[in-house]
Structure 1
Amino acid sequence: MKFLYIGLLILVFEVFSCTHPIRRETTDYSHIDSLVTQTTDSLDSNPSFVAARLRMALHNTQDSASFYKLYVVYIDYYLRVFSLDTASMMAKRLLRYANEKPLSFARLEYKSEAYNALGNCQSINANLDSALVCYRLAYKYAMLDSSKVKVPDIAVNLGDMYTRKGNFVEGISFYRRALYVSDSLHMLDRMGFPIYFGLAQAYFSGLRNFTLADTYFNLARKYYDNRTLFEKFVFCNNRGNFCYYRQQYRKALPWFLKAKALVEPDHILFDLNLCNANLGDIYLKLSKLDSASYYENKAYAYFRPLNNITLLYYIATVQAGIALKRGHAAEASQWLKQYPAPQSTEPDLLSLRNKCWEDYYVMIGNYKQAFAYQTQNMLLNDSVRAQEVNSRIAEIELRFRQDSAILQREYYIHSQKEQIKALRLTNYIWILLSIIIVAVAALFYFYTKKKKDLQRIRHQEQITRLRLQNIRNRVSPHFTFNVLNREISTEEDKQKHQSLFSLVSLLRQSLAMTEQVSVSLAEEIGFVKAYIALEKHRLGEDFATTWHIDDQLDMDQLRLPSMMVQIPVENAIKHALTPKPGKKLLSISITRHKEGALIVIQDNGAGYYPGQQRTNDSTGTGLKVLYQTIQLLNAKNREKIVFSVMNIPADAGTGTKVEIYIPEHYVFE
């Protein structure tokens, strides 16, 4: 199967892989460079528009240097539309122009372009030796150009040509040269696919080095999405062939199906039926005979009128294999005799046909003849294996020589760079010392300035603390509590007496808690209960509170931000329950959850609607401060405090639910 589309892929790479280097003619104008870029980029998408623009531009520039810059693109256009006679004639005219003028970088580029175009024409016409001569001349002139931007394209063309001629070692050497230059010029985005695919195909088809081939196939796959439809098709088809030869038939099947899906919408019948032939062979190997017969019959019906001997030989071999698996010896013999092996048939196809003959003679009991075909296959495989071993050895030697040359060149370049560095080292040292002195001076200046700023801030903070302390001392909290205690002692009404006493206790506890970042759960619950006791008289007999506290919780050890429960409870009483007529219910549940505690505060008020305007005495400051406190503390902890406010679903009544999750080992710093 490997012969399918290898040659056609190489042909497409030779024609389409070439882009044009940057021109350096001093007589050219910037708008000509822009036009060259635009037309080159549009050749694939709109060739007729490009041709019209080029004809107009060539007419305006006549026989100038700019004329020949555009002329190169025009040759590329005729190659893409397969007008080979016109492309060849134009390439020869470009060559005459380059030979008539004094040698310059521009003339070198024109010679390289002309010979490359002539090589493409010869390659398409299957004149491989003539194509090689042209490509070698193109490569010679491209190497003389200092920019080397044309070298990767021509090296790929040479690699493709040697691969088509069966000289895989030489082909690999040119692919590697293309890779080295493309990498050094940062051109792999454009050249990566043809280079890696060419290397994969050479290692797979010629050297049977499946490990390296698989590596290069995967590298080419990275550039797959930006390639043309035909290049995608050939990649999928040859990737399927790769899996086929590794006897990974289930892996090969998706690649052939993908190749077929690419060409099916455009009804590219040759490619479509080529996929059918491959699919039939795969289904035969998977023992799915009905599917195998279906696809091979479709392929046979298409290729029989075309009289494509090579493909018919392959299809007949697969058909014979299907017949043998079904036990139809006579039908298998008919297929095998109908299409004998054409000249220069590949060893893989000969081996496949010999295996069918062997199975046929075993089926009819002629073991002597079966053994003869088995012997032929063994000799054929030994010959192919020996050739592959020799090719591998030659490729390793060539790679070693190339790598050695590259290392020597890099060592020479490195030595030159080291000498230059040594000459400039003194200047660099003085520059570095100057920079260090300036940097130290700048750091010293900023350090001194920052130190003064910190001192000024500390003085301001000290003044502020003294002012606040002075204000507090004017109305001491202890003075306030003493006055309230005197009033409580003179109050005869027991209910008022108890309320005032609870208020003083609440104020003292509030004053103590506001000085702390965190409090114990027991302290917070005690504060909340005191607050509810004060508010209970105002809310009346319709107000009821339920508490549920898990016995497993250590109320004294578990800590939480101060006012964490108080603020939601206060909001529930103030905004949800106070204006509500009828029953007013408030429930507080504290249970163990995961590695911490879950606090749920729920009321049966109208619900939580942040967008609605609050009462006149409400500023929303409590929740804002609470959110900011949680955010600051969470930034220092891996496990976070979770605080959420939500409405109770309509089917469960109305009201607001606040859920607070406090991790057990939370750090309050």
Structure 2
Amino acid sequence: MAYYIKAYVLRDNFLESVNHYLIGSYVGRSCGNSVIHLKQMQSIFNNLGKVASRYNEYDLAIHFFEEGLSYAYQLNDTSKILQELYQIGLTHYHKGNYHQTLFMLDLAKPYQRKSSWKRTQSEITIANALHNLDKLDEALEIEKALILKLNSDTTHNRRQAYFGILYNNIGNIFRDKSEIDSAIFYYKKAILFKKSLVGTKLNYGFLMGSISSLSELYLENKEYVNARRVLLKGVKYIEGGDDQNLANNKYNLEVYQQLVQLYKALEKKDSVVFFKEKYRNQLNRYTDFSKKRNVQFLVDKFNAEREREELDARNEVYLFWFLAMVFAICFLGIIIFFFHRKKSKRVIEMTEHDKRLAELKALKAQVNPHFLFNSLNSIYSFILEEDGEHAEEYLLKYGKLMRKILDHSNLLTVPLNDELETLRLYVDLERLRLGYDFHYEVHINIPLSEENISFPSMIIQPFIENAIWHGIAHLEDRGRISLSIDQKNENIEVKIRDNGFGLNDKTKTSHHTVHGIDLIRERLELLMNRDANKDVLSIISDKEETCVSLIFPAEILKDISHVE
């Protein structure tokens, strides 16, 4: 099987090797039941299980080991059956299922040879499981029996390694029995044996674990000199080795953490800062290593799941825009509610002049929510039609417009250039909303700059809205709207023209149109101090053109230019 062979060759390349193992497992299911094939399949699933277990995917690891066990039974190979039963038991141990560990390792006993390293490994795992089940004396008895057996068996090929493991485990048992001196004694013996293994496969993980356990006891007993000596030896191993297992060992984090704890107790601030930085660097290194070694072959196995996740992601985008719209509506509603409540309290204490300004603001506030609500309806329509591009464009322009309106919400007048920019944003939104590009032009003919002219906020917008929705929106040809602002003698004249059907066409007007014009007329009368002799608003409309004219005396604009 080419995939199996390639995965074996590439086993140092984690991601590529696992990917080929997985492909090989699927291809191999249909390749027959020859002995060679069954051995390859057993080996593939055993290796996949080891990888998944190493990176804490225990349920997945057990699944792979059980697949490997089924092939081992077909081969009737006792060594491979023992291998899979042991791996399943060990994975249950890592998962915390200690009773299940004991059960699986008991099943493995008939397949073990008396002097095999697998038997020793299995008995160590049994002792650890009993330890975690608080059966300390039973665990200790097994560990000591194993030491006696290893002392008499000089041919055991992993003898030195197991001495280190057993002494460390006995130290752990005495620690939990609160026999601290005995625990320290065995931790020291464990370190002594494990130091002789540095440079072999079973090196740093075992060694650093014992160093961490011993220094932890010294710290608990406030034996700071001994703790410092042991920990600095650990640092020497961490920084002096080039083995990847050392560089990314989780016990390194414990060593640096204990050094921080030690120097805090000794009140050496510089050393605390130094080893905190070491700890952070090691944590980043360990985290990056774990991410790079993530079990990415799950993506290959569950392609259908990925497609479903992509669909869910699209739905989440739509849900996001909908919730954003709901939030915006609620936010605006809250703003308007508190705005009106605040103004209502102030009106009671106002003079007649202040009341006039409050009425102006109240009338202005009746206009803003109307076209803001229409804009939100347009966004909602784009989302329903799954037109994400236009919805995004509309929402961006809407956000800019909303910001301007909120900035000006407490102002009766704003600089003319700000008002023109607000109108431009509004027209852009209506173009998107209608779905076609009508012509819109602005002509300014005044001696002062636009920044220096104070202009009634949102007084023109309702007429632009009427020109669009009750004028050019129903035209078959391209619509046209023009806005002109001119100074004539002591007045500034604003004209809004459109080539729509006109306000006299009863089929194209609505109650809202008339009501909106009445609101603007009331605002203008209040601005003019209810002077009915001043004709500031006129509308001329026929079937070819509608022209709205607003005339503001220069002194009136000057009087209101600083009112907020």
TM range (shorter): 0.3 to 0.5
Provide the TM-score with structure 2 as the length reference.
Answer: 0.38
Provide the TM-score with structure 1 as the length reference.
Answer: 0.33
